Amino acid sequence: MAMDSRRTHRESAVVVGGGISGLLAARELAMKGLRVTLVEKRSHLGGAVGAHEVDGHVLDSGAESFATRTSDVAELLTELGIEDKICSPYDGGSWLYLQDGAHPAPRTGILGIPGDLSDPSIREILSSAGLRRAKMDKLLPASVGANAKTLGELVRKRMGQQVVDRLVAPVTTGVQSTHPDEVEIESVIPGLQAALAQRGSLAAASASLRAASPAGSQVAGLVGGMNQLSEALVRDVLRRRVRILTGYDAIAVDRDPDRGGWTLLQRAPQLGERVAPVHGKYLVMATDAPTTLRILGSHLDASTIPQVKAGHEIALVTLAIEQPELDSRPRGTGLLVSDQVATVRAKALTHATAKWKWIAEEMGPGKHVVRLSYGRGNDHGPLREVSLYDDQLITLAMHDAGKLLGVSITRGNLLGADVVRWKGSLPTMRPGHREKVQQFRNSLQDLEGVTAVGAWLSGNGLAAVTADTRRTMHEFIDATSAD
Ligand SMILES: Cc1cc2nc3c(=O)[nH]c(=O)nc-3n(C[C@H](O)[C@H](O)[C@H](O)COP(=O)(O)OP(=O)(O)OC[C@H]3O[C@@H](n4cnc5c(N)ncnc54)[C@H](O)[C@@H]3O)c2cc1C
């Protein structure tokens, strides 16, 4: 059946999860003429792409940019009619905060892997011995590291430990909340090992992947924030008559013996804890891994259910401050902090008013927004900053921000603050993850009328989620059209 033909009768579908992947899945189904119900546990839609208010300004509470290496997100924004809001961040680059202080981050590679070891900024970061070791990358045969299981192992084998500790770990822990020794290469940098085989060195491979992005920055944002994407998607699916149920917590799913298809059981606290069933011929799971696996698990062969953990907990502390010394953007768009630094607990700081012109214009001169993230993923028990109360985290963030940006920040500077906590929204892609995903997707073939999407299947980030969700939904719609 051709992709653009509409269903002749109004078949129904239920989508569980109202993040970007669930909204996109609902949109694709509605575009084919299905009657869609979308169920979201929280009171708001968009998942990790949301908004909050700080000092009267509406800012992103989660994702704040998208990767431009592929055109998937830009195409979606165009379809949604908000492409005119696309904006580039300030081009001054970011910094690294290491044990010996702040250094401009090299801008030649991808995810901290240097693309050009002759770049002068690298000499500021690596010792002479560390740099000599890194340069061995060019002399080693391409086969060295070809079988590496983790990103850390690959970088260590080709460029040495210092590159792992001082360049790559601050980026992966800051951005993905995971140490490079815990992440599967292909899940975080698709195509890196193929590029290494082709180009002969890791530096050349990293440079070639960076060059695949359009000139300038590797990311873009939206005026008004990435939350505009969620809003536009919600508007779009409502226009397509998708029924949206927020505050409904999906707990289980059963086959419907009478009508065929699936009945989703949900907890609806606002209806006095009643179980609220909703029926659909088709079911799309668009939640985190533990939820999708729990809900579908009893219908799958137990041996095919992968063990995938929820992502680490992250706390984002946003401070609105009056501090004119920050007008000069002392640390570019922000800093990523090495986990070997003992005097700063944040893993990253985004200087939002330096990075995004629209936020600077909204705040006005002398006023700034900084966002600090906590929760490295490898911190446990009492060492976890995320276990602090909001007020404690705000005080800690003021201390860390002052240290990272090299200015004084006290309560007197504070205009407003907010803490947003994310649990399970940034799944960890451990070695073997892609294989597990493939195995799970294969096992779904046996469940008639069911599919699953989401960051744990696609890889983290809006570019990966957008591309994978649309591809999966197109394949699903085509396959079920033959029913
Ligand atoms: C703090 C943070 C910052 C990020 N920054 C960026 C960035 O700058 N750029 C970028 O490209 N990516 C970023 N990402 C990653 C990106 O936002 C995610 O990969 C993407 O939004 C995931 O979308 P999703 O729909 O798969 O998952 P989610 O957004 O997690 O949505 C899943 C939804 O399912 C719902 N749900 C769960 N269980 C149930 C249930 N039982 N019943 C009903 N609903 C349920 C959840 O409430 C949630 O709304 C960031 C992520 C986080 C957490």
* pLDDT tens across the length of the chain (483 residues): 333 455 555 799 999 999 999 999 999 999 999 999 999 999 999 999 999 999 999 999 999 999 998 999 999 999 999 999 999 999 989 999 999 999 999 988 899 999 999 999 999 999 999 999 999 999 999 999 999 999 999 999 999 999 999 999 999 988 877 889 999 999 889 899 999 999 999 999 999 998 877 666 689 999 999 999 999 999 999 999 999 999 999 999 999 888 889 999 998 877 777 788 899 999 999 999 999 999 999 999 888 888 887 788 899 999 999 999 999 999 999 999 998 898 999 999 999 999 999 999 999 999 999 999 999 866 555 558 888 999 999 999 999 999 999 999 999 999 999 999 998 888 888 889 999 999 999 999 989 999 999 999 999 999 999 999 999 999 999 998 765
Does 436 share its domain with 287? yes
Which residue out of 265, 462, 466, 470 has the highest number of ligand 1 atoms within 8 Å of its CB and is therefore the one to mutate? 462
- The residue whose CA is least distant from atom 18 of ligand 1 is 461
Closest ligand 1 atom, residue 64 Cα: 8
CB of 419 sitting under 6 A from ligand 1: no
Measured distance CA(159)–CA(446) in Å, rounded: 45
For residue 33, give the DSSP letter.
Answer: T
Q: Pocket of ligand 1, candidates 246, 465, 470: which has the most ligand atoms within 8 Å of its Cβ, to mutate?
A: 465
CA distance 94 to 289: 32
Q: Write the CATH number for 395.
A: 3.90.660.20
* Residue 248 C-alpha from the chain's centroid: 24
**Nearest CA, atom 2, ligand 1:** 62
Instruction: Give nearest CA residue, ligand 1 atom 21.
Output: 48
| Token reading at 164 | 């792992």
Kindly give the distance from the C-alpha atom of residue 336 to the centroid of ligand 1, in angstroms, as a whole number: 22
Residue 123: which CATH number?
1.10.3110.10
Does residue 376 fall inside a structural domain? Answer: yes
Q: Does any domain span residue 98?
A: no
Ligand 1 neighbourhood includes 244 CB (under 6 angstroms): no
In a domain, residue 282? The reply is yes
Q: Is the CB of 17 under 6 A from ligand 1?
A: yes
Q: Which atom of ligand 1 is nearest to the CA of 422?
A: 53
**Both ends of the chain: CA-CA distance in Å?**
10
56-72 pLDDT per residue, tens: 999 999 999 999 989 99
Token representation of residue 347: 């893993």
Show the domain range for 416: 51-91+220-224+310-422
Residues 141 and 200 in one domain: yes
- Closest ligand 1 atom, CA of 456? 26
In this structure, the answer to whether residues 418 and 284 fall within a common structural domain is no
Closest residue by CA, ligand 1 atom 30:
425
In this structure, the answer to whether residues 397 and 446 fall within a common structural domain is: no
Distance 312 CA to ligand 1 centre (A): 13
Residue 21 alpha carbon to ligand 1 centre in Å: 8
Are 399 and 458 found together in one domain?
no
Examine residue 133 and state whether it is found in any structural domain, yes or no. Answer: yes
154/127 same-domain check = yes
- Domain tally, the chain: 3
The answer to whether residues 206 and 123 belong to one domain is yes
Residue 258 sits in the same domain as residue 358? no
- Is residue 328 assigned to a domain? yes
- Do the domain assignments include residue 2? no
Same-domain check for residues 279 and 316:
no
Strand ranges across the sheet with 35-40: 243-246, 35-40, 12-16, 282-285, 450-452
Q: Do 404 and 326 reside in the same domain of the chain?
A: yes
Residues 6+ apart with CB under 8 A from 304: 439, 440, 442, 443
Where on the phi/psi map is residue 328: left (φ > 0), alpha (ψ -120 to 50), or beta?
A: alpha
Residue 420 CA: nearest ligand 1 atom is 1
266 CA: nearest ligand 1 atom: 42
CATH of the domain at 292: 3.50.50.60
Residue 348 and residue 205 in one domain:
no
Considering the domain architecture, whether residues 332 and 412 belong to the same structural domain is answered as yes
- Has residue 100 been placed in a domain? no
Q: Are strands 262-268 and 274-280 parallel, antiparallel or unpaired?
A: antiparallel
Q: Residue 101 domain-assigned?
A: no
Q: Establish how many alpha carbons lie within 13 A of residue 259's alpha carbon, considering only the half-sphere containing its beta carbon.
A: 12
